[in-house]
Structure 1
Amino acid sequence: MAVEALTIDVNGRALLLSAERAAFDPLEKALFIADAHFGKDAVFRARGIPVPAGATGENLARLDALIATHRPESVVFLGDLLHARESHADETLAALDAWRDRRAALRLVLVEGNHDRHAGELPARFGVELVKEPYRLGPWALCHHPQTVDDAYALAGHEHPVYRLATRIESVRLPCFRFGARAGVLPAFGAFTGGFEVNEDVRRAREAVYVVAGERVFGVRV
């Protein structure tokens, strides 16, 4: 089944929300990804937690699917590209190297996040442009930490937002996009990232919420 994207209006600009937990601006031809946390599985294993290998490859395959669908000219990572210093493990760097060789013409920009400062930069051969928040691109102020920015609409990550849907007898927590009047937050892209429940926050702030359920994105507060 094909993964769907939902087009919404954010502060007067069309933004495509993907069930792969990313957003695409068709005018800027830019793909926005928050909290990839590449190499987190390697970090877990290095610290004695026996999780299976392969999460980085799976995440890169999802990224390839997004690129094939949207054909961006740039990918902007909204912080936390790597998880920790152990993310520089040979297996992780080899997977990233092979991916970068296939995508050599693609511009990669990283808005520095808190994990990036601890993990350290990727080697220069990866060609990732490291910038500070807020990074201005078109109408957007691209950040890692959620915030508001004068004269721009801020898009951020860091929070790993999830929204709880419930009936009287059961509930489920789903990754979500949340959008307020001046700022929005994208769900975490990477595996093993966990999530922060935002139901009460978005209710108080009267924000729009779009959840990811399998191959679909749909609005639950719009």
Structure 2
Amino acid sequence: MNAALRETLSPFRHGCGGLKVRVNGEACVLRCSGALWAPDHRTLIASDLHLEKGSAFAARGQMLPPYDSPATIAKLEAEIEALDPTMVVLLGDSFHDSRAIDRLASADRLRLEGLAHGRRWVWLEGNHDLKALAGALDRLSGEVVTTLRVGALTLIHEPGAAPEPGEVAGHLHPCATVVAYARGVRRPAFLTDGKRVILPAFGAFTGGLDVRHGAFADLFETRPLVAVLGRDKVHAIGWDRLA
């Protein structure tokens, strides 16, 4: 990480194992789960849950194990239990397709209802779940928005070509392959230059797009920090260690 980027981000190891950085001056903790915690606003942000992706693939004859939604919700439950946020923002593509809410098991829907109880719960519209969310509030708690301001942060699903200050986005599912001990390990990753941050996908079956892909090339003026998710730490990785 160059000196200018280090000064902008002011990164240091948080007690949870994540990295605390500054995005547009706002304190943000990049957590091992792939979620972002804005402590000054007690706001938890997670992107691209893609609930019911497994059942969508099964309907097309590709038999994935039908456990992605329970696993993803359990992961979200753990974050909420650890942090007790006053607001949770799901940053788009929370559902894999327009009929995913119909396929969501009643037990999983009740778990989401329980998590939303007593706090502000916000669904941002994504490209996958735009139609699903259009009629969702008769079955799910919360509110549906296109963008949201949280302090100095601007929350949106898809990163813009000309971002608003402090943009927090998802959509691209960034991941990185890190070379260590003569082999490559592929892991989800955050990308940030202190002006914007792109979150990894939070969902269990989501996959990822390598940070060296051309889709990221025009989003940052200089090489951003690559913050790779480890088992119990988020690791700042130099570009020279990426495969």
Q: TM-score of the superposition, structure 1-length normalised?
A: 0.88
The worse-fitting range, judged by mean Cα deviation, of 57-66 and 162-171 is 162-171
Measured in 1, the distance between the counterparts of 2:195 and 2:201 equals 20
- The corresponding residue for 1:127 is 141
1:1-222 equivalent positions in 2, closer than 5 A: 4-101=17-114, 103-121=116-134, 122-133=136-147, 135-147=148-160, 148-150=162-164, 152-167=165-180, 169-199=182-212, 201=216, 205-221=222-238
Name segments (4+ residues, structure 1) moved above 4 Å. 200-204
Note if contact 2:116-2:141 (Cα within 8 Å) is conserved in structure 1: no
Shift of 1:79: 0.7
Measured in 1, the distance between the counterparts of 2:139 and 2:118 equals 13
Q: Cα deviations across residues 48-84 of structure 1 (Å, max 9, x unaligned)?
A: 1111122111111111110111110111111101001
Measured in 2, the distance between the counterparts of 1:165 and 1:101 equals 38
Measured in 2, the distance between the counterparts of 1:204 and 1:61 equals 37
Letter of the 1:30 counterpart? T
Note if contact 1:17-1:23 (Cα within 8 Å) is conserved in structure 2: yes
Question: Which runs of 5 or more structure 2 residues have no equivalent in the other structure?
Answer: 1-14
Note if contact 1:111-1:132 (Cα within 8 Å) is conserved in structure 2: yes
Q: TM-score of the superposition, structure 2-length normalised?
A: 0.81
Considering only aligned residues, what root-mean-square deviation do their CA atoms show, in Å?
2.4
Note if contact 2:22-2:194 (Cα within 8 Å) is conserved in structure 1: no
Letter of the 1:214 counterpart? R
Measured in 2, the distance between the counterparts of 1:9 and 1:172 equals 27
Shift of 1:13: 2.0
Measured in 1, the distance between the counterparts of 2:142 and 2:51 equals 14
The worse-fitting range, judged by mean Cα deviation, of 177-186 and 31-40 is 177-186
Shift of 1:113: 0.8
Q: Identity over aligned residues, as a percent?
A: 32
Letter of the 1:198 counterpart? V
